[in-house]
Amino acid sequence: MVQPSGFEQHGPNYVCKLLKSLYGLKQSCQTWNKKLHTTLTTLGYKRLESDRSLYVYSKDSVLVIIPVFIDDITLASNSQEID
């Protein structure tokens, strides 16, 4: 494996160590979903019981909806402000 351009550390002859739980294993999807779920719930998002691929964050008048399809994520919000 070649290091990505712009990420060369310790010279071009060094390699990157892949995390096997995220690359090339049958349980990769489940590991990714658990990590994403943990991160989003820590940030205050709630997963809908009716559609477990939708995460919703609501605070004051701000509503954020994140639909997840495998590893594709879209962000929709009624606010353009950045905190």
Q: Domain extents for the chain?
A: 29-77
3-class SS at 9?
coil
CB atoms within 10 A of CB 40: 18
pTM for this predicted structure: 0.66
Q: Whose CA is closest to 40, among 61, 62, 55?
A: 55
Q: What is the pLDDT of residues 19-59, one digit of tens each?
A: 665 556 677 788 888 999 999 999 999 999 999 999 999 99
CA separation for the pair 58, 45 (Å, rounded): 8
Contacts of 56 (CB under 8 A, 6+ apart): 45, 46, 48, 63, 64, 65, 66
